[in-house]
């Protein structure tokens, strides 16, 4: 079930119900075991309150991209979520403190350094569809405003452009180009 939920919100209680387990605590412990053996990772919604982070839904990502793709149930190719998983793996490799942002809109990744968020990243397959474009930009702008960022990034399969918005600069890059960039081990 988790492999079909890459990049999606999950709660231990919803997993408990789906799997027919007795308690959300047991489900949480099973997920801790999976994370402990580095099979999958769960990221929290960023909130200054640790208690709220624990309560809010998590997003799940897999260390083995091929495994998630092959055994996960999907009704469609879901290319955007699989690309999101690739970006997560690279952020993990860069040893980032990874969260997601959720307000009126969502931003796939916000990166914490020290006591503040220093980067916001959206991931999508492509932004040729106007609805997708608006959703990705709105989520990024909301995160940029919330965390007082002057730059944000949208990673796609192949598109590249720079947008200037009232909030700041939005850089759109192909994922491969971003993955090849190494700038002082930062995630921006």
- Residue 188: inside a domain: no
The structure's pTM equals 0.87
Location of structure tokens 């491969």: 176
163: containing domain? 2-180
Q: Alpha-carbon distance 183 to 3, whole Å?
A: 31
- Residue 185: inside a domain: no
- Residue 186: inside a domain: no
- Residue 187: inside a domain: no
The answer to whether 156 and 172 have CB atoms below 8 angstroms apart is: yes
Q: Can you spell out the DSSP letters for 70-106? A: HHS--SS--HHHHHHHHHHHHHHHTT-EEEEEESSSE
Number of domains the chain is built from:
1
Q: What is the pLDDT of residues 151-173, one digit of tens each?
A: 999 999 999 999 998 889 999 99
Q: What is the pLDDT of residues 98-118, one digit of tens each?
A: 999 999 999 999 999 998 999
């Amino acid at each position: 079930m988790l492999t079909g939920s890459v990049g999606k919100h999950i709660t231990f209680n919803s997993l408990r119900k789906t799997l027919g387990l007795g308690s959300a605590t047991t489900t949480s412990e099973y997920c801790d075991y999976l994370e402990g053996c580095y099979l999958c990772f769960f990221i929290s919604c960023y909130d200054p309150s640790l208690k709220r982070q624990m309560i809010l839904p998590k997003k799940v990502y897999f260390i083995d991209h091929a495994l998630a793709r092959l055994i996960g149930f999907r009704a469609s190719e879901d290319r955007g979520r699989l690309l999101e998983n690739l970006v997560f793996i690279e952020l993990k490799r860069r040893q980032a403190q990874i969260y997601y942002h959720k307000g009126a809109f969502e931003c796939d990744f916000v990166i914490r350094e020290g006591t503040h968020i220093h980067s916001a990243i959206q991931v999508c397959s492509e932004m040729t569809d106007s609805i997708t474009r608006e959703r990705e930009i709105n989520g990024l702008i909301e995160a940029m405003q919330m965390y007082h960022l002057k730059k944000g990034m949208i990673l796609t399969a192949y598109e590249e452009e720079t947008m200037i918005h009232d909030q700041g600069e939005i850089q759109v890059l192909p994922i491969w180009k971003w993955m090849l960039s190494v700038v002082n081990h930062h995630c921006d």
